[in-house]
Structure 1
Amino acid sequence: MRKNGIAIIILLILVVWGVYDYTKDNGTPNEQTSSAGVKVGIKKGDTAPDFKLLTLDEKQMKLSEFAGKKVILNFWATWCPPCRVEMPHMEKLYKDYEEDVVVLSVNLTQTEKNQSDVIAFVEDFGLTFPVVMDIEGDVATTYQIFTYPTTYIIDSQGIIQEIFKGAINYEIMEKAITKVN
């Protein structure tokens, strides 16, 4: 009985240590930082991780192309009801703030039945902002997308200022972009 108790205590200590080691932010030299010295990550205050994806017309587009502009980075899927509700708000904001704000829409293509559904969706909703396809799911993995839609508000220096999980409307988007530089 005593040996089992000691084994359980040792096991618990190892589990707690493992969880702590996995979750701690220890600032190791392997941690990426931006040119401005800000940690690259997916939390508020981090520099948004750059990525390169194809647009619907198969041109490469990188997040870093929009340096110097405010960016609304939106992750969505055609089959997602809240995404469908959000898209007209996103399009209106894009048209109203086209000079100052980039809307970059990342379709989580790996979750779609086929790519033609994405094209039909964009046409049906009359979307004019850039739409890129995350075919392999690599960007969704980097940004740890588990909620559809998820929206990042990124300032002109590439720093994440807000994160919204779930659909947001025009007023929320407008408020978020007007308070960042």
Structure 2
Amino acid sequence: MLKKWLAGILLIMLVGYTGWNLYQTYSKKEVGIQEGQQAPDFSLKTLSGEKSSLQDAKGKKVLLNFWATWCKPCRQEMPAMEKLQKEYADKLAVVAVNFTSAEKSEKQVRAFADTYDLTFPILIDKKGINADYNVMSYPTTYILDEKGVIQDIHVGTMTKKEMEQKLDLD
């Protein structure tokens, strides 16, 4: 009787362990740069010199924007991004990754941020994160859900309303 009881417990444990492993294997999103994939994490310095990573925004929707100061469409959408950040700060993180290696200087990026009164983090990309995300044109924006999964990729300028719709903030 004891042998049957122990065999039953072992069988239940084995089935549970197998089920847990299957759940862990198939519930994780594949890391990549396509819609439906987990956005690759990265860590860069901000204009203020602090380290910031994509993981810092977990739990919030993320507007991940790749831009440059010389990009006219980028300049056009920055005020809308700032408004979004202020309006939805409790559930949205705006993360702006500057293509710093294509800028004249970091001072130019800082002056740009000051001119537009930008309060969201501006990350200085000297590592090539732009290339890791296959950014070919500016601005390029990735919309991530609260778990860091890519929901949308948009190349070109967006209005505040378009950003709100893509982020499903209404």
TM-score range, shorter chain: 0.7 to 0.9
Displacement of 1:135: 1.6
Pair member with larger Rg: 2
For residues 79-98 of structure 1, what are the structure 2 equivalents within 5 Å? 79-98=70-89
Whether 2:131 is the aligned partner of 1:162: answer: no
For residues 1-181 of structure 1, what are the structure 2 equivalents within 5 Å? 36-136=27-127, 138-178=128-168
Superposition RMSD in Å:
1.9
Displacement of 1:44: 0.4
Return structure 1 stretches of 4+ with deviation > 2 angstroms: none
- The share of aligned pairs that are identical, in percent, is 45
- TM-score, normalised to structure 2, is 0.82
CA distance in 1, matches of 2:164, 2:158: 10
Displacement of 1:72: 0.4
- Aligned residue for 1:116, secondary structure, equals helix
Displacement of 1:179: 6.3
Query: Which residue in 1 is equivalent to 2:16?
Result: none
Displacement of 1:167: 0.8
Displacement of 1:36: 4.5
CA distance in 2, matches of 1:52, 1:35: 27
Change (3 A) 1:38 1:81: same
Provide structure 1 residue ranges, at least 5 long, that are not aligned to the other structure: 1-33
Query: Which residue in 2 is equivalent to 1:25?
Result: none
Displacement of 1:170: 0.2
Deviations 1:34-72 (A, max 9, x none): 995211001100000000000011111010111111110
CA distance in 1, matches of 2:80, 2:63: 12
User: How many residues of Structure 1 are paired with residues of Structure 2 in the alignment?
Assistant: 147
CA distance in 2, matches of 1:93, 1:62: 20
